[in-house]
Amino acid sequence: MDIGLHGVILAIVTTDANKICGGTCPIFAAHGDEEKEELGFKLARVLGGTVHDLGNGVYIICRHH
């Protein structure tokens, strides 16, 4: 029986924290695109998720079913 988290957003990485409002997901603020990319891929590897670029300065790290 698998009781882990699936189909959820595990973390958000952004260069503009004003684009994120509310929620219970951890949010990481990066100082530029290079740092955003580095944080996103490191978090995805640690959390066992996948990085999705929303195209507006925001990455979400998700775990799919």
Query: What are the tens digits of pLDDT across the range 25-51?
Result: 999 999 999 999 999 999 999 999 999
What pLDDT is recorded for position 52?
A: 96
Average pLDDT, the chain: 89
Distance (Å, rounded) from C-alpha 59 to C-alpha 38?
Answer: 11
What pLDDT is recorded for position 46?
A: 96
> What global pTM score does this model have?
0.84
Contacts of 13 (CB under 8 A, 6+ apart): 27, 28, 30, 36, 39, 40, 43, 58, 59, 60, 61
Q: How far apart are the first and last CA of the chain?
A: 14
**Side-by-side strand order, sheet with 8-14:** 27-29, 8-14, 58-63, 50-53
The model's confidence at residue 5, banded by pLDDT at 50, 70 and 90, is low
